[in-house]
Chains A and B, each alone.
Chain A
């Protein structure tokens, strides 16, 4: 596609439920990032993939959060036993290399009620 695509654009879920957020990066981009942005804050790093492997997952807040990128393209962020504090916009970004421009998707707005 022409840009980074994230689905769904909005997700409302009940506390304790499981959710999956999808990111489709720009074709050919080997690097993929997940960020979380709360209202009035800058994006907060969660995890970085280089190809299929998670090169840096130090930003994942706890073991309820997990992400995969099995074929080195599409990535899925998975959140188990969601909590109200997980509510935020989850942004995905991709780039062609480490010190190059990261292009962001529109984000998924997750609301846990």
Chain B
């Protein structure tokens, strides 16, 4: 089955700096890659997603890049703000008839004012 590795597990940045979180996946048939933000005690919420037919997608201060050959994808947050502090999860959905959305272990991002 799919295996998703996520790094780093914790990340501290100064307010205004950029944050980058990286994930790798194992199943070359995976074709959908969402990123979720989870604040303490709350539900995961989708912040951006990318499908395997594109290499990059942006939404204001957030961008995701996908390298299908290397089987890795990254989340980029620019001009970080304290409210960006949360746990971020990457995930991959296999396209080979599976419906499993496999999550990484998460990155705890702390933005220091």
Give chain A's interface residues, CB within 8 Å of chain B.
31, 33, 35, 40-45, 48, 50, 55-56, 58-59, 91, 98-99, 101-107
Contact = CB atoms under 8 A, between A and B. Distances in A.
Size class of the contact patch on chain B: 20 to 34
B99 A48 contact: yes
Given A41-B105, A43-B89, A102 B34 contact: yes
B103 A44 contact: yes
A99 B51 contact: yes
Given A91-B44, A106-B42, A101 B101 contact: no
Which of A45, A50, A103, A107 is packed against the most chain B CB atoms within 10 Å?
A45
Contacts of B36: 104
Contacts of B104: 42
Given A41-B105, A101-B34, A56 B45 contact: no
Given A102-B34, A104-B45, A107-B43, A41 B106 contact: yes
Contacts of A40: 105-106
Contacts of A42: 6, 89, 91, 103-106
A58 B100 contact: yes
B99 A43 contact: no
B1 to A, nearest CB: 8
B78 interface: no
B107 to A, nearest CB: 10
Nearest to B1: A58
19 contacts: A31-B99, A33-B101, A40-B105, A42-B6, A42-B89, A42-B103, A42-B105, A42-B106, A43-B44, A45-B101, A48-B100, A56-B100, A59-B100, A91-B43, A98-B32, A98-B93, A98-B99, A102-B46, A106-B42
B43 A105 contact: yes
Contacts of B43: 91, 104-107
A101 B49 contact: yes
B93 to A, nearest CB: 7
B102 interface: yes
